[in-house]
Structure 1
Amino acid sequence: MTEFPSVSRRLLLGGLASAFALSACSPGAYTAPIAETSQRFASDSPARRAGSNAWWAAFRDKNMDALIAAGLARNLDVQTAIAVIREAEANARLVGANDLPQASLEGAASRGLNSGDVSIAESSSATLGVSWLIDIFGANRAARRGASAQVDAAYLSAEVARLTVASAIASAYIDLRYYQQAVSLTRQSLDSRKRTLALTREQDFLGSVSRVEVLQAEQLVTQAEAALPALELGFDQSVNRLATLTAGRSADLAARLRKGGSQPRASYSASVGIPADVIRVRPDIGVAERNLATAVAAVGEAEAAFYPKLTLSGSVTPIDLAGGGSLKTWGFGPQISVPLFTGGANRARLSAAEARAEQARLAWQGAVLKAVEEVENALAAYNRDGRAVGAQSRLVSNADESVSLARTSYELGEAGFFPVLDAERTLLSARQDLANAVRQRALNFVALSAASAGGVGLAQP
């Protein structure tokens, strides 16, 4: 073994003793932050909490279930998030390898003439080197904590991607059924208006109505025909959106979904619960917290750079010489590196790491505030949508009865034609508004589910 002078040995052992005394310090110690939230959401009501992975089951729609299942399996954003997980795990293994001894083997061979004679000299050698960086001041531990936090963030980001994809598919499907319903209502109204136009032309032939009334009836027919292309385009765009989200083919989806179906309605009343519980389960909040943990670990690495580094290293080199002789050399011992003059680089790196940690802390706080706002807004909107749907349903019933009475009075000659026109306009508008109200309530249920990370309490209304 390599011998050290006694004075040097004493200095080295003294330095090692001090280093081990300081090793109890753990740079970059981290404590997860706690969000200060209200006791309950303002619009909350008691309900049973449901499983967070199947909030879309509240719609009881097999087509939506199948589309979401396909999207979670094939969506490109989800696949990308899974690839990010693999990268983070590989990086964590790479960081963890720094705690293990590093070994290398090098070999060499030579052949040549000896000086003074014509004999050929051959030699070969192989060197086995081993080094081990002892993590006294926690640089590797901080790096491992940071890498572990990045793995956690990658998994949570995948959950964010899944939740985003599921809510996007549900929203696109709700839009598709709305446009499908709007097209159906417009065609029904168009058929009714065509019948009214035919009746008006008969009355015009008999001289019972004026030319103005005929033109009004023709205008109603034309208005309905003009409204159809935009609604049909909305249906096609929704199909294309679903095809993108599920990595499928628009033609296949259109053939399957064009068969028709009712507008999705959540079969339950919604409740979210305690804000702190929502914050705890939202994956984007978890990502922000894990990013903060990663930033704090980086501060620990920057702090450890101010302290010495101790490396144990050694090597063995057997050499075979010409004529059967051999020579072996070996060495083993510790090496200590002390940062003395770095031009302020270490301090600058520490300041930058601390600034990034502060940014991560503020980003986490911002994510918490945004999450609470999103839940409050979605919950308030969903609860108020119920009253809107009820009012629109009553309005449709009244308008439908008004059309029947106005048409009967017109056919009997008891009233003019203009009341029929007004009643038909009101009926179509009321039906379209009801369809839109049902659509909006379903979309707000999806928004509430996404805002609470699927943790929506489901209770029978």
Structure 2
Amino acid sequence: MRSIVFSSISIFATMALLTGCTSLGELKPSRSVVATGWHATLPHGGRSTDLLAWWASFKDPSLDGLLSLAERENPSVQEAVANIHKARATLDTARAGLFPSLDGSATATREGNKGDDVNRITAGTSKGGALDAAWELDLFGKTKKEAQASALRAEGQIWSWHDARLSVAAEVGDYYVQYRACRQLERLYRDELASQRETIRVTEKSAQSGFTSTADLALARASAATSSSSLTAQRGDCEIIVKSLVQLTGGDELVVRKLLEQGKSRIPQPSALRITSVPADVLRQRPDINALEAEVAASIADVGAAKADLYPSLSLSGSISISQSTVTGRSVPWSFGPALSIPLLDGGTRRAAVRSAVADYDIAVASYKSGVLTAVADVETALIRVNTALQRINDAKTAADNYQNYFSSVDQNWKSGGVSILDREEARRSAQSAAITLIEIRRDAIQYWIALYKALGGGWSASDDASIASVNGIH
């Protein structure tokens, strides 16, 4: 008995020597310095409506329909939902390790031998059943840490789902704005082409009467051909945008085209956006930053699980079986007892696993810091672009109006013979260029608003998400 006790003490002493003296680096704290305020100018001085229900402020049924379609059918959103289900299944698997396991089995056979008299065995029936139970006691919290890491990653996947919804919505809104601007440019080229064809008709009559040179007629035809080419290219660009919207909304082109036909022809414009929060508030709202933060916390739990694996594990196991045979009779064997597993020599595998987990933590911290810096830069950049575009719109409108007035005056003089067709074409091209610039700046301004909306985290509310989550099977 004394030798057995001495042997047990020796084993535990050896275990303590090998595991207790393991030197592991401490985790570095995750710090990320965030400014206390924005440096860029706030649009409208920071006065306007809230982010919540921002898409509704466009008051555009077509846009609402496209956003709802993308929410249901976009593959990226569906993939994010599937990732949540997978992460929750992993969590259930990890939590199952905290509880005992029980397996059962049953058999029934009939056997005999119809050989010679010496070997003949009367046919008999054998029946048996068994129960096997096992439970690994979580002495040092390894399983608990693994479950904690899985829970945090499941939470991170939910944040990733929010991020996917936000990104898809912003992309749909951006393409929708491009589409409306594209159709405006198409109408501009179409109206210009109709006007130039009328010019050709008038010039042809004048040339036949000898009042206009053939050079003027050639210039009019060349200008009309250029406008026709621009119109064809513009129509192609609009069709490409439609294809992009079809891809984002799940692939039903007929539904997308029907929604586009029902919408307003103007470029949609939202209500103004209030930006009074400091960067730290935005970081709390952005789903991608929350997902990165969840991964940092999960990596800390991974380190704890890897360290716990350095220590012994104790499990309880037992089994009981019942067998009955018409030949041999009945038996009920059983067993029960603890089993202690002590890591002694593994070539450094466990300690390498700890170092790997610490490295994963450092990577997660670096990704989190990078995400914070990117988030702040996204907002600052979007603020500058929105402010610049809004300031340019008034000047662009003034230029477009005055160039159009100038062209109208030159056109009247040309009809009365006061100026050449070359002067008229130069005035027309200037007016057309100014009109195109105005449309493009208005388009860009709304695109920058959408980029700012995305950079600020989307403005979704927890109550709204709860209803959407239940529809998608996310609870």
Amino acid at match of 1:46: G
User: Once superposed, which parts of structure 1, at least 4 consecutive aligned residues long, lie more than 4 Å away?
Assistant: 4-12, 27-34, 108-123, 321-325
> Which residue among 209, 214, 218 is the counterpart of 2:217?
214
> Which residue among 146, 149, 154 is the counterpart of 1:143?
146
Give runs of aligned pairs for residues 41-440 of structure 1, distance below 5 A. Answer: 41-42=38-39, 43-44=41-42, 45-47=45-47, 50-52=50-52, 54-109=53-108, 111-112=111-112, 122-258=125-261, 261-269=265-273, 271=275, 273-320=277-324, 322=326, 325-440=329-444
Amino acid at match of 2:133: V
Structure 1 residues 363-401: Cα deviation after superposition (integer angstroms, max 9, x where no partner): 111111111111111111011101121111111110111
SS at match of 1:106: strand
Amino acid at match of 1:131: A
1:36 aligns with 2:40: no
> Which residue in 1 is equivalent to 2:463?
none
Change (3 A) 1:30 1:126: farther
Change (3 A) 1:274 1:213: same
Structure 1 residues 238-288: Cα deviation after superposition (integer angstroms, max 9, x where no partner): 111111111243244335524661112233155362111111111111222
Q: How far has the Cα of 1:195 moved from its partner?
A: 2.6
Which whole-Å CA distance do the structure 2 matches of 1:323 and 1:250 have between them?
A: 74
Which whole-Å CA distance do the structure 2 matches of 1:58 and 1:382 have between them?
A: 17
Amino acid at match of 2:268: P
SS at match of 1:370: helix
Q: How far has the Cα of 1:312 moved from its partner?
A: 1.5
CA contact (8 A) 1:152 1:290 kept: yes
When the two chains are superposed, the root-mean-square deviation of aligned CA atoms in Å is 3.2
Which whole-Å CA distance do the structure 2 matches of 1:10 and 1:340 have between them?
A: 15
CA contact (8 A) 1:32 1:289 kept: no
Q: How far has the Cα of 1:412 moved from its partner?
A: 2.8
CA contact (8 A) 2:98 2:137 kept: yes
Structure 1 residues 334-365: Cα deviation after superposition (integer angstroms, max 9, x where no partner): 21111001111111111112112211111111
CA contact (8 A) 1:29 1:296 kept: no
TM-score (ref. length: structure 2):
0.85
TM-score (ref. length: structure 1):
0.87
Structure 1 residues 302-341: Cα deviation after superposition (integer angstroms, max 9, x where no partner): 1111100011122223343547953333332221111001
Change (3 A) 1:190 1:424: same
Which whole-Å CA distance do the structure 2 matches of 1:251 and 1:444 have between them?
A: 29
Which whole-Å CA distance do the structure 2 matches of 1:5 and 1:103 have between them?
A: 36
Change (3 A) 1:61 1:121: closer
Structure 1 residues 42-98: Cα deviation after superposition (integer angstroms, max 9, x where no partner): 22343466244x332232211111110111011121111111111111111111111
CA contact (8 A) 2:112 2:121 kept: no
Instruction: Number of aligned residue pairs: give it.
Output: 444
Structure 2: gaps of 5 or more residues: 461-475
Change (3 A) 1:122 1:413: closer
Which whole-Å CA distance do the structure 1 matches of 2:63 and 2:6 have between them?
A: 74
1:446 aligns with 2:450: yes
Change (3 A) 1:33 1:455: farther
Percent identity over the alignment is 27
SS at match of 1:271: coil
Structure 1: gaps of 5 or more residues: 457-461
Q: How far has the Cα of 1:115 moved from its partner?
A: 9.6
SS at match of 1:310: strand
CA contact (8 A) 1:396 1:434 kept: yes
